Amino acid sequence: MITKSLSILALSGSLILLSSFTPTNNDHPTQIESAATDNCDKIIKFTASKVRKTDGTEIPMKTTLTIFPKKKQIDLNSEDANGQKGGFSMTIESMECSINEKMDGGYAVYKCTIPQGDDTAKKMTFTLKIIDGKWTAKPSEGEQTESSVTIEFDSFETFKDAEKS
């Protein structure tokens, strides 16, 4: 029972990335700022096998983060060690991106909303950058909490719009 509760807690933490969301109305235009790199306009799919809590504890968690910049959408899907799955989509409200051509440097900051189904949305901002040679997603500075997690990705793929939707 405790193991199942911990798995559900870990899955929830992974899917939320951070817990300090604020309700908002979803009625403002999207701004996307990017350097002159094609990678900021491509679909990028990141995969990970674990997430790390703020105390350094690693939790086995298959995670896929797929960014669709032209659709202004990010999909986050996870599966814990017990096979329990979850996921959600985020709407990109603004993006600052400078990922280089080789995908071995740069960063992206995404300000997103997660629709709640009742005309409200929760805000979240996260940063995607290389840390210790791996692409990593974590809450942006000032938004990290005790329940925040960092996702260190094992691999990534890029796609043109026609290749993946």
pLDDT tens-digit readout, 87-142: 999 999 999 999 988 899 999 999 999 888 888 888 989 999 998 889 999 988 87
Check residue 32 and give its pLDDT. 42
C-alpha 130/C-alpha 141 separation (Å) is 15
Q: Is residue 164 part of a domain?
A: no
Q: Where residue 64 sits, what CATH number does that domain have?
A: 2.40.128
Instruction: From 129, 122, 48, select the one nearest 96 (Cα to Cα).
Output: 129
Q: Give 61's strand partners.
A: 80
C-alpha 151/C-alpha 65 separation (Å) is 10
Check residue 147 and give its pLDDT. 81
Chain Cα centroid distance, residue 121: 16
- Using the Cα atoms of residue 128, residue 71, residue 12 and residue 139 in order, give the sign of their dihedral: positive
pLDDT at 2 over 80: no
Q: Is residue 86 part of a domain?
A: yes
Domain range enclosing 105: 2-159
Domain count, the chain: 1
Instruction: From 43, 46, 27, select the one nearest 113 (Cα to Cα).
Output: 27
Q: Is residue 18 part of a domain?
A: yes
Q: Is residue 165 part of a domain?
A: no
Where do runs of H (alpha helix) occur along the chain?
Answer: 2-16
pLDDT tens-digit readout, 22-79: 333 334 333 444 444 578 899 999 999 999 998 999 999 999 999 999 999 999 999 9
* Confidence bin at 150 (pLDDT 50/70/90): very high
Check residue 161 and give its pLDDT. 67
Instruction: From 61, 57, 63, select the one nearest 8 (Cα to Cα).
Output: 61
- Rounded to a whole number of angstroms, the CA Rg of the chain reads 15
Q: Is residue 95 part of a domain?
A: yes
